Structure 1
């Protein structure tokens, strides 16, 4: 299933979804282009809200929530609960809401309402599915759900698993359709010694596990000290000093050597650490420095008042792993404690407290407080990628000579014993195979949502590097980069500052809990349109950076076009296919074509190619796209027309099989008077992750339904290529037949839509 992307009604964006064309890793090294200049429009810049003003706006949103819900057409059982608010300099408010249904929290039901002065109210939805349930009475008892959750968490590697409180009843909407469910919070210890907090969602009707997601966000890395720095401390009544930072929300730094809850660091002379790992205070200095630098970055760049934008400081625990008795080579952020935990590396001698790791983990807190990127599909990978992006931005903001800013993560780390960084943003696959057997992805593929999130984050990392710096070979701060693109075409960067501006606005204003990479493209394009204008070079650069990692379409001469629907056609079979193109310039795109299969023509204004081919063969076709500004783009290709008639009829047009839905493909039979045979051969080529769950029927010209394939067996069969024999002797042969495919995969929420690729009948 393609996860519910952000549904934007704010403006018409160029169409485009992630394309699966070409194998992963097929990108080519390309040359560098000069960086583009982009200046944000003043009115679209975020205004930093004081804690009191933010609270006031949230109270106003709560008061008007019933009216807002009615204006959105929500049902009588649905209510909106304000979570966050962002204000632009021109007064536009972006209010983020959680949703409830009959008093139950809705997971995946969040939305953002955009309201400008004098402008129409528009909305970004995490899911556009209608929210309705036949009952809110659970068939599966809470205790049964709790036991199932404990078992599921243990199966995922959580040790010492225990339920934190009783399961709460929720509505699960993240899978694309609503289901009554139980959410159980299971705590324990991960395999590497990190604390574990799993949220397990259990279907309240079937008992099936809908989600089993780790909430403790972690990343590998060893300590990279930042040299001599100034950190905040507070003098206590007894004259000693404590690592409590009064200028950053009272952030505290704790020593967890002997207890997981930690003991506040104190010192007699307010000189902390000695720059060596042997001194326990040194890791505390790095943690405190990372916290204050990340806070300052978000404050100075975006007017954000702390991680949750409420002026509240988090806290950091260092030397965390020792009390677990397991070497810990990572760090993590936990929403439940609003805190960072830093381990001491695999050997217990290298605290994991580098600036980029601190910024990465704290950005997980920012993401949680804003978009709330969830735990299904590609959202976890996007969550990790956003943290990598902002970690790079924090490094460049700090510009510390002891930690020269770059586009790698933990670049001085030697976690793997090879002296290499753990992440490369210009070409993520350079990191090689991870300890768990995964390799970072350079480009999007349909399997990205099933890959380990830190590995699938490579797609977003690569996009961000290309957006900031562009493609090709270059040296930045003494580090050599050479970033390729999926389609082999160059990309011009807009600079790190502008790239971070686009991502932050997309994250805080347009992304939701279900946003995937296609949705991230939509959100960043809207953010670029807000900041720089939809006709700007920066807008096109965002689209082209995504196209360079195989997500969406690329602008060439200001015109973008979706992959052409040019699979073969067949003689005697009506064709109706649409070319979809857009321009970043005002006005509509017009279409022209030469050399189409004989019998076909293109509509100049709609791009629809229609007609009935009357000759088989290969045709050298050319599509020309023109915009109102006079730009043109020409695409040449060979289009094949298959022979269909006599005893063999074929429809080679691809049809998408909607999830849980039905699709019908027509076929015209002519020249066959009388009844169809009792041994009609029906051949079907179909792709679906569970193709055996597809139910297939043949509909005769008079409406008679002839069964072709039943449901099952329930096994993993990603392709179906079969010929079936059907007794069609009771119906006439001549006329329009239809092949109907029904998706019969109830209960599976993380599947891609299938495709009926072609089908044929032999009389």
Structure 2
């Protein structure tokens, strides 16, 4: 999360030097810091000793405190409709490009108003590779593991040369030496650290993929994979209906008509892959009389009309609403390829659509989809192209979720632009045979996505490039709340109220955020900061639009509400361990509560099912079912089921033991319980324990049996203590509405942090984790003081316990 600090606080953070303090008081209005303590957005005063645009490099040098090894080179300059001049700079370290390291200067009337971006602080990094490009490419290709690559296909190579009008064009990867953050290592010494790496653009033909692969130039480790092909959905869940035949611009050629439009930018061209995977073998769709009604046939040829119409509509939206000339703002041709199949001849259509960095590709679908060419999918894919030419958000983790979310936003905006009566807030509703939609912006939870940052359904695994299609739900819901408004309580207890500003204004703010203020490595905190600045640019500081943007972010769990108030922390309490040591004789084989329904074998004594959740309304009556599996003899077993209703990290409070049974058979047992009205709203832990010992509790390592944990989302319950729309709230999770949270001071800290426990509780133990969640060792406790003098600068989470309850609080080491 980004935090705003005064100039005095920034001095403690190392953001200012003593010599530049007076200067920054006159020039700097406010600063936002990223998770590494570097400025991500600097708002400058435009009166007095203001920076002129001609001083842009000096401004960057002073505000980012550039070292002699640092260099920022001008990439491009643009002027927008508000009169802002935007200069984007690329970071280099010792002459080597720092991947995703860009910083922008935003000036109006010759004065610099805002600096923003991502700057990587690097020191002591060797820029001499020990692994050459050829060896690194071998590592990259071994990682991709494709059967064939595009450069191995002579026809594809010839087609590329013709398309680029360049006889030397090739798909063969050319190594580029860069500095990049290691996003794949699990080692605390390497994870998140800048590395010297070889970068390759690897385009695989079978199986189909295209990505930038980064190989450590010393160890050969793959440190990052950034997908260029960005799918509408890797698995898809749409309920499909054809959008119908649409009128579109074509051209006349050799006595017939074809799906080519020369009236928009560099043109819109729609081709037929003929259920194959070759782009060079694709042909034109043609029609004798320019009346394409016969294309509604068993071959789904009318999908080509949808793709063509969708590209035209998307071009028109960006041109007429945002003044953007095609996806690259330079009139690039938009090429669509329909009837694509990556495994021709297998009788199964390709169930996907994607932008590959060059063109739009659409499959015909099979069991899940009809042809994936609906209007919102077309706008979604072209939206990826817009992103590639602007923010270029890295396709993994939070930046990848933003990448996907902005594409969904453009899908919604283009649908609304063409037909305000459409189901704008559903994504892919026209093409899905199975579900109502692939994603819902108004109710992301309905399609398995989170509507709150790190709330219900937030994905924490490594699949789907770190959850890019899952966690995009937070940005989607922010946009919905910004446009429509609404009030309520989010998953982490934030009580919000948003006055909607309509989809037109929301779209303008989203567009400016993506194209002006975001960079390749931007996360949700940066998106919040950028969108607030975009609202100020468009509608003025303190405007209703700025307030709505801020409050919409609060509604989805990112940052404070406008005018004060903070989002309570995600439910990150640490639960005690519970595990059976032996499952040779008995185990849990069935648990069902609401939408949780799991049948299983033995899971080595413990199963972490917290990624699976169900919702329980406060005050409702619920029935849970469970049964044991036995290897042979059915022994007497003791069941205990717990729910942490007050979300304090334990199961010892009154009413949290919701079921206690015993049985000596494999029959399914049921227990009924009532969720108390006082249960805290939000996600919490369900624990099911099966043991052969009646004395087993919620926190045991026991001889025989098994424990399974799940997540339940309490709705309509009590808010977390301190969760208000004004004032401040505690970072600690405590019982009771008046309980005080864990306090740390000074914060930021230099040498020691004093710890004050809630309600003068005893301090039993303390652990410290960094922003990656890695445990920090080597810190000393002396009474209630933690010695942090040896810590690196950054943001840390301190976890303290009184022996019964667990509390969390963040602090900054300067």
Shorter-chain TM-score category?
0.5 to 0.7
SS in 2 for 1:370: coil
- Give the C-alpha shift of residue 178 in structure 1: 3.2
Deviation digits for residues 550-575 of structure 1 (CA, Å, limit 9, x no counterpart):
111113xx4445769xxxxxxxxxxx
> In the alignment, which of 743, 755, 762 is matched to residue 798 of structure 2?
755
> In the alignment, which of 80, 87, 98 is matched to residue 88 of structure 1?
80
Are 2:227 and 1:211 aligned? no
Q: Residues of 2 paired with 1:351 and 1:172: CA distance?
A: 38
In structure 1, the residue matched to 2:133 is: 142
Q: Residues of 2 paired with 1:511 and 1:178: CA distance?
A: 20
Contact 1:472/1:484 (8 A) holds in 2: no
SS in 2 for 1:256: strand
In structure 2, the residue matched to 1:464 is: 479
Q: Residues of 2 paired with 1:561 and 1:185: CA distance?
A: 42
Deviation digits for residues 348-375 of structure 1 (CA, Å, limit 9, x no counterpart):
9821100000001101111111111113
In structure 2, the residue matched to 1:328 is: 350
In structure 2, the residue matched to 1:512 is: 519
Q: Residues of 1 paired with 2:385 and 2:377: CA distance?
A: 13
- Give the C-alpha shift of residue 506 in structure 1: 0.8
Contact 1:657/1:663 (8 A) holds in 2: no
* Larger mean Cα displacement after TM superposition, 371-380 or 67-76: 67-76
Are 2:780 and 1:698 aligned? yes
Q: Residues of 2 paired with 1:759 and 1:698: CA distance?
A: 18
Deviation digits for residues 640-693 of structure 1 (CA, Å, limit 9, x no counterpart):
59xxxxxxxxxx6458999xx99743589xxxxxxxxxxxx9943344688775
1:325-724 matches, cutoff 5 A: 325=345, 327-335=349-357, 337=358, 339-347=359-367, 350-399=370-419, 404-416=422-434, 418=435, 420-431=436-447, 439-445=448-454, 448=459, 450=461, 451-471=466-486, 487-555=494-562, 558-561=563-566, 638-639=738-739, 653-654=743-744, 664-666=752-754, 683-687=765-769, 694-698=776-780
Q: Highest relative contact order (Cα 8 Å, sep 6+), 1 or 2? A: 1
In structure 2, the residue matched to 1:24 is: none
In structure 2, the residue matched to 1:244 is: 260
* Runs (5+) with no aligned partner, structure 1: 18-60, 432-438, 474-481, 565-621, 642-651, 669-680, 701-734, 746-750
Contact 2:766/2:798 (8 A) holds in 1: no
- Give the C-alpha shift of residue 202 in structure 1: 1.9
Deviation digits for residues 173-203 of structure 1 (CA, Å, limit 9, x no counterpart):
5866532111123322576xxx311222122
Deviation digits for residues 68-107 of structure 1 (CA, Å, limit 9, x no counterpart):
8767765556555555544234522112333344443321
In structure 2, the residue matched to 1:124 is: 116
> In the alignment, which of 250, 266, 277 is matched to residue 233 of structure 1?
250
> In the alignment, which of 234, 243, 256 is matched to residue 273 of structure 2?
256
- Give the C-alpha shift of residue 295 in structure 1: 0.3
Deviation digits for residues 470-490 of structure 1 (CA, Å, limit 9, x no counterpart):
1269xxxxxxxx999952433
- Give the C-alpha shift of residue 410 in structure 1: 1.5
Contact 1:486/1:547 (8 A) holds in 2: no
Q: Could you say if the C-alpha distance between residues 544 and 531 of structure 1 is closer, same or farther in structure 2, counting changes exceeding 3 Å?
A: same
Q: Residues of 2 paired with 1:234 and 1:162: CA distance?
A: 31
Deviation digits for residues 470-525 of structure 1 (CA, Å, limit 9, x no counterpart):
1269xxxxxxxx99995243322111111111111111111111111111111111
- Give the C-alpha shift of residue 340 in structure 1: 0.2
TM-score, structure 2 length as denominator?
Answer: 0.60
For the aligned residue pairs, the C-alpha RMSD in angstroms reads 4.5
Deviation digits for residues 592-613 of structure 1 (CA, Å, limit 9, x no counterpart):
xxxxxxxxxxxxxxxxxxxxxx
Q: Could you say if the C-alpha distance between residues 344 and 494 of structure 1 is closer, same or farther in structure 2, counting changes exceeding 3 Å?
A: same
1:51-130 matches, cutoff 5 A: 74=66, 79-80=71-72, 82-120=74-112, 122-127=114-119, 129-130=120-121
> In the alignment, which of 155, 178, 191 is matched to residue 170 of structure 1?
178
Q: Could you say if the C-alpha distance between residues 351 and 502 of structure 1 is closer, same or farther in structure 2, counting changes exceeding 3 Å?
A: same
Contact 2:317/2:414 (8 A) holds in 1: yes
Q: Could you say if the C-alpha distance between residues 247 and 407 of structure 1 is closer, same or farther in structure 2, counting changes exceeding 3 Å?
A: same
Contact 1:84/1:95 (8 A) holds in 2: yes
Contact 1:146/1:184 (8 A) holds in 2: yes
Contact 2:98/2:178 (8 A) holds in 1: yes
Q: Could you say if the C-alpha distance between residues 370 and 445 of structure 1 is closer, same or farther in structure 2, counting changes exceeding 3 Å?
A: same
Contact 1:167/1:182 (8 A) holds in 2: yes
Q: Residues of 2 paired with 1:91 and 1:344: CA distance?
A: 45
- Give the C-alpha shift of residue 411 in structure 1: 1.4
TM-score, structure 1 length as denominator?
Answer: 0.64
Q: Residues of 2 paired with 1:141 and 1:294: CA distance?
A: 43
> In the alignment, which of 142, 145, 148 is matched to residue 151 of structure 1?
142
Q: Could you say if the C-alpha distance between residues 484 and 134 of structure 1 is closer, same or farther in structure 2, counting changes exceeding 3 Å?
A: closer
- Give the C-alpha shift of residue 210 in structure 1: 1.6
Q: Could you say if the C-alpha distance between residues 465 and 689 of structure 1 is closer, same or farther in structure 2, counting changes exceeding 3 Å?
A: closer
Contact 2:494/2:568 (8 A) holds in 1: no
Q: Could you say if the C-alpha distance between residues 122 and 529 of structure 1 is closer, same or farther in structure 2, counting changes exceeding 3 Å?
A: closer
In structure 1, the residue matched to 2:700 is: none
* Runs (5+) with no aligned partner, structure 2: 5-14, 16-23, 36-52, 152-171, 184-191, 570-720, 731-735, 757-762, 804-814
Q: Residues of 1 paired with 2:792 and 2:727: CA distance?
A: 44
In structure 2, the residue matched to 1:605 is: none
Q: Residues of 2 paired with 1:632 and 1:225: CA distance?
A: 51
* Larger mean Cα displacement after TM superposition, 87-96 or 444-453: 444-453
Q: Could you say if the C-alpha distance between residues 413 and 657 of structure 1 is closer, same or farther in structure 2, counting changes exceeding 3 Å?
A: farther
Q: Could you say if the C-alpha distance between residues 122 and 554 of structure 1 is closer, same or farther in structure 2, counting changes exceeding 3 Å?
A: closer
